[in-house]
Chains A and B, each alone.
Chain A
Amino acid sequence: MITAELLSEVKALIQEDRIVEGENDHLLGNNGLVKVYPQTEEEISAILKYANENGKKVFVEGNGTKRGFGGLSESADILLSLADYKGIVEHVVGDMTLTVKAGTNFKKLQDYLAEHKQKISLDPFHPEAATIGGIVSSNDSGPKRLGYGSSRDVVIGLRIVYPDGKVIRSGGRVVKNVAGYDMNKLFIGSMGTLGVFSEVTVKLRPLPKYESLILLFFPQGNMEEIKAFAQKLLDSTMEPVTLELLSPALSEGLTGQSCYTLAIGLEDVETSVQYQENFIKSIQPENTNMKILTLTDAQAFWNQFYSLHSLESESLITSASLKIGVVNMDVTQVMKESQLLGDSHHLEVQAHGGLGHGLCQVNLKGSKEDVVSAIQQMRETVAGLGGYVVIKHLPFALRQEVDTWGPKPAHFFLLEGIKSKVDPNKVLNPKRFVGGI
């Protein structure tokens, strides 16, 4: 059998107890005939080199939280998991920089850093399960992006195992660096199609001295009012770290109130946060209610928020998650459209979007046909706004029907050119990315 042969060849590269036979029929696809758990960079390198030289295909995963994110082939030869390649390589507390192995769990990292009153200023989904490598590779970000940016603002260096097994460093360990091309950027968000991260270096931020979360409820759900308020706040000198609009269903799950709700995060020294709270109270629109959560209560809200969308896949109900990018204020349009689609397609819809950065996440649940049709309709609407829809989560079978990434950009030839320079044999995560890269 082919698998048996492959198994024996892989055994020559990595300890036997680090190899398991792949699972079949995973609802999310992205399987491997064999699955390996390397513990050293040399092992990662040896596996890639072997694959590159022997015409094998490799899928890469951290801890599998993004298994439903792209990918048009059900299985590769090898599924390379970084879940056991973890740990801190170097944390220079005074420099506020951190180098970690790619498979390190994000929540554990943040807990460790909190002991030093520091944090990685990213707020990805499923932090308790996600790995730093997976987060950077898929460029996942949450509402606090408004205040702190995303992976491209945080990552200062990478060690990457190229498809031919060589190890390339990009960036470095300093917070400012323009030596050569900014290669970090190329790999962030590349969905593992160019190389396997072995180490990630990030710059850290101090934990905020104080934080609060203002929940502003709009029971009448008038979008124009919401927009007007958001504009007023954004045009003030206040410095919210989130300005996230939650759909009624999402707000109900998190706050018990089923109406459009703005989640306004404030993080600074206490006097500043309180001053901002007062300002926001002073411009609070009529017909709205306000609730303020502070410190651990605010944190608890966010923790629940990040893990809300279940990654479990059931065979009867289809769940999908969309990342939608539009111009900031068009977030309100996306929210409206999600509500309409929920009604017309009998879907459970939970949506949120940042009025300060233009990125939305829309989670859908319902019958297969309805989910697919809703995604297509959403794509049309968003295309009309000049934005894009990327499907962050969808069962494998449906990814054949509706493209994860949407239409190819006009400059696709450049993307293809880069892929073929770095991975000419298309070893890594084939068909996982834009335009079948």
Chain B
Amino acid sequence: MAVKGIKSKDRHILNLANIVGDARSIIYHKEDLIAYDCDGFTLHKHLPKAVVFPNNTDDVAALVKYCSDNQLPFLARGAGTGLSGGAIPLNGEVIISMVRMKKLLSVDFENRRAVVQPGFVNLKLTNSIADKGYYYAPDPSSQYCCTIGGNVAENAGGAHCLKYGVTTNHILGLEVVLPNGEIVEIGANGIPDAPGYDLLGLLTGSEGTLGIVTKITVRILKNPEAKKTVLAYFDKVEDGSQAVSDIISAGIVPAALEMMDKIAIEGVEAAAFPVGHPKDIEAFLLIEVDGIEAGLDEQINNIMEVCKKRNVREVRAAETEEERARWWANRKTGFGAMGAISPDYLVQDGVIPRSRLPEVLNNINNISQEYGLRIANIFHAGDGNLHPLVLFDARIPGQREAALEAGSACLQACADVGGTITGEHGVGVEKREEMRFVFTDEEIIAQTDIREVFNPFNLLNAGKLFPTPGRCVEIKRELKEKETAIS
């Protein structure tokens, strides 16, 4: 039976519309599809075949089964805030948008867990349980709009993940639609350590390439009794980064330890949430400790002493909750703030061992000079997660390419000191080739072998996460196949 209001001759569009049931649940006109040609990573675009909006797990399963039976490439999309291009329909995918599956299904305070649909927005969870004094810990800066399903796919982090861990540390159970349309439940009832390989851990951070998450059980936490936040201004980046190492090695576990350099500060001060940071400092640290109030002063004093030893210009604690909130709004809108000082910017996401911070920042500075592009640094310094922001102007020929290259060079600088190429934004389309900075061909094959178990025909979100196989790999594959054919 045809769905009313669908004007298409494409039988797949008609059939997909049939599954979701009404004309408001599918987009297929070219002019409407343009909004879905990329996500938060805008340097690569491709039009999807259609966008469909399922209302429940059964809809998702039926859509997936249809795509799988008809060899149509498909992928899931949350809020589309991903920064590595994970939701870009490289192969003209059918996009299965999760935004209508946005219910908070249940909260169990006694056992500290909540069950949400994947389209439920991160911050809404905390807002829904705040009156009882609880919260959901992973707090990406995009939390006001990104979905928990997208967070699971990217294993998203945030400023407070230093103490509380990233998304994977808070996921207790998942309902997943596999690429053949089968529905599986992993981590039933949210009980830890269920017998079997840890598929929860494997699926979290798999960037939507192993299955589509349709229900999530998360851990919720009691709000800490108190928080104290400190802002420390430094005249030298070097001193700021040394202070980071010193704080950690003093045995303090801050809830958050963030850093911004001069260019980043210029950006946030020109944008919507200025704090009035001095214009001539080279870096600041935003440090938060939380927990039992009686124990916090001692930690704050330790932190202040460490900063003083590292020649801090000024260090002070927030005096009111309002002041603390202003500091955080300034930090959390940091990426977007670059728009105030540059027409375009590219966010990078490398991780390094904390003690190598001064050296790597120096290298990034050199990269900036080499490419003639300004690079701002906003980062989760406590866990060594750097976000170099390469500023450029796409209207100037060659700058877009230069920005991409400079970004890649920053990741190489991270890999060179034993770090990695992404701490929270994922590999997606953007860092596929950079995977080779940290993994050998064999190690990449070990991972694609796992993908084959879940997604054997690679119809789900193909072309993401892994580099196109190098020649040697292909040859090895062939040999292996021949061998098995003979034996």
Contacts and interface: CB of A to CB of B under 8 A. Distances in A.
A172 B418 CA distance: 8
B251 A206 contact: yes
Interface stretch (A30-38, A147-155, A288-296): A147-155
A168 B189 contact: no
A55 interface: no
A95 B191 contact: no
Interface in A199-228: 205-207, 209
Contacts of A150: 192-193
A272 B354 contact: no
Contacts of A110: none
Nearest to B248: A96
Given A174-B384, A234-B222, A327-B111, A182 B418 contact: no
Contacts, number: 239
B195 A406 contact: yes
Interface in B118-169: 133, 154-155, 157, 161, 165-166, 168-169
Interface string B396-419: 000000000000000000000011
Given A152-B201, A328-B111, A174 B295 contact: no
Q: Of B186, B295, B442, which is in contact with the most chain A CB atoms at under 10 Å from its CB?
A: B295
B196 interface: yes
A410 B185 contact: yes
B145 to A, nearest CB: 20
Interface string A127-147: 000000000000101000000
Contacts of A390: 195
Contact of B450 (A93, A183, A237, A386): A183
A276 interface: yes
Contact of B447 (A183, A268, A269, A326): A183
Contacts of A415: 196-197, 199
Interface in A297-339: 323, 325-329
Q: Of B222, B420, B438, B451, which is in contact with the most chain A CB atoms at under 10 Å from its CB?
A: B420
B427 interface: yes
What bracket does the count of chain B residues touching chain A fall in?
35 or more
A239 B224 CA distance: 9
Interface string B190-220: 1111111111111011100000000000000
A358 interface: yes
Interface in A406-421: 406, 409-412, 414-415, 417-418, 421
A149 B352 CA distance: 23
Nearest to A141: B193
B249 A410 contact: no
A426 to B, nearest CB: 15
Interface in A154-203: 162, 166, 168-170, 172-186, 188-190, 194
Contact of B225 (A179, A237, A327): A237
Q: Of B189, B224, B293, B449, which is in contact with the most chain A CB atoms at under 10 Å from its CB?
A: B189
B292 A238 contact: yes
B435 to A, nearest CB: 6
B420 A174 contact: yes
A179 B446 contact: no
B155 A178 contact: yes
A422 B446 CA distance: 8
B10 interface: no
Contact of A189 (B184, B197, B418): B197
B294 A272 contact: yes
B314 interface: no
Contacts of A272: 291-292, 294-295
Interface string A350-361: 000000111100
A9 to B, nearest CB: 21
Contacts of B111: 327-329, 358
A270 to B, nearest CB: 8
Contact of A386 (B161, B186, B188): B188
A386 B189 contact: yes
The 8 A-B pairs of least Cβ separation, nearest first, read: A185-B201, A272-B295, A206-B251, A237-B225, A417-B453, A275-B294, A272-B292, A176-B423
Given A180-B439, A231-B110, A239-B291, 10 more contacts: A152-B168, A172-B419, A173-B418, A206-B251, A237-B223, A238-B292, A328-B112, A388-B191, A418-B453, A421-B453
Interface of A: 92-97, 117, 139, 141, 149-150, 152-153, 162, 166, 168-170, 172-186, 188-190, 194, 205-207, 209, 231, 234-239, 268-269, 271-276, 323, 325-329, 356-359, 386-388, 390, 405-406, 409-412, 414-415, 417-418, 421-422, 434
7 contacts: A176-B424, A178-B155, A237-B292, A272-B291, A272-B294, A327-B191, A388-B191
